Amino acid sequence: MIQLLAHPLHFHFEAGTSRGVLTEKTSYFIQIAHQGKIGIGEAGPLRGLSPEFEEDCLPAFQKAIANIKHLPEYAEEIDTFVQAIPFEQPSLRAALEMALLDYFHEKNGIYFDNAFSRGEASLPINGLIWMGSPEFMRQQIADKLAEGYSCLKLKIGAIDFEQEINIISEIRSNFPSAELTIRVDANGAFSPKEAPTKLERLANLDIHSIEQPIRAGQWDAMRKLCQLHILPIALDEELIQAREPMALLESIQAPYIILKPSLLGGFAASQAWIQAAENRGIQWWITSALESNIGLQAVAQFTGEFNNLLPQGLGTGKLYTNNFDCGLSIQKGHIYSNPHTKRTNPFA
């Protein structure tokens, strides 16, 4: 009834982050097959970020799935079913939710039926610039600008900060903020002491926002940094493993949050974050978490449920040499879905 498959995904290049360089990432696929219907979901835990650890993921996931004796009979029961999976396994929760949504829709890779999944609308996305040598980062920037992106997101915090400032300055000298939005993602690389000075340097370059400037879990320090109003702060890693969205949002009071459904326990959990944020006037956008195209497709379809015009972080479909086809494409800074493309099944 339920199958589990581990699949290593290989990067086209060395993907640099402040937590290290990635060359490979393992995803775990779940297939639910019953009475001629199939549903596929993807669990994509990230080493050093997810509460799951990849060395133990496969046996832990196998044990959790072995304990499942009955599938829900109706789509309305999915959320209750997913809640039975331990909170400490958010990517497995997300994968089961994906697989069940796919299963109940009874269509090829349709998790949410909306204008995006039907191919009637696109979603604006940012162009992701990975850390690396200045030459590598400059080449990525040139490529993304040539492809028509109007919003770039630069990962910073791994190379020399002055080099990063110089690279952003070069962009700004050619593209003012009215023409190009620049976001940066520090992945918690700054210390609370140095963060204000670095944020001031970045603010002088008309940066839209900075994701997670300091390490997650330092609520008081993050709140004080937000209260300085130097540069708008977006919480990212801060949300992972947080059990009380309202408590976190009220404590830190950041202007933005970033949602990674695969690391937050799925779509219903992400919906709870969105509702809590909107109730407090906090803006948000959704990003993928280095899933394959299968997980990315589900996350993009979920994003299509909302009327959010901010560029989303869904441009990771070309990262891997051994990705799966499911009809996603990118044109001029927008992601599109072709519902007529047959999805590759990892279990086939």
pLDDT digits (tens, 9 = 90+) for 100-119: 999 999 887 999 999 999 99
pLDDT attached to residue 17: 65
CB under 8 Å to 246, separation ≥6 — which residues? Answer: 276
Which tens digits make up the pLDDT trace of 287-322? 999 999 999 999 999 999 999 999 999 998 889 999
Q: Work out the percent of the chain whose per-residue pLDDT is above 90.
A: 80
What mean pLDDT is reported for the chain?
93
pLDDT attached to residue 18: 57
Options 3.30.390.10, 3.40.50.720, 3.40.50.300, 3.30.450.20; CATH for 2-105 is 3.30.390.10
* Sign of torsion over alpha carbons 330, 334, 339, 340: negative
Of 54-58, 110-114, 231-235, 332-336, the one with minimum mean pLDDT is: 54-58
Reported pTM: 0.95
Which tens digits make up the pLDDT trace of 45-60? 988 888 887 778 999 9
Confidence check: pLDDT of 224 > 60: yes
What residue ranges do the domains of the chain occupy?
A: 2-105, 123-337
CA 297 to chain centre: 12
CA distance 153 to 334: 14
pLDDT attached to residue 301: 98
Contact 131, 156 (CB under 8 A): yes
Which tens digits make up the pLDDT trace of 29-84? 999 998 889 999 999 998 888 888 777 899 999 999 999 988 898 999 999 999 99
Q: Which residues are catalytic?
A: 155, 260
Which tens digits make up the pLDDT trace of 152-169? 999 998 778 999 999 999
Residue 235 or 52, more confident: 235
Q: Looking at domain 123-337, what is its CATH homologous superfamily? A: Enolase-like C-terminal domain (3.20.20.120)
Per DSSP, which regions of 44-126 are E strands? 123-124
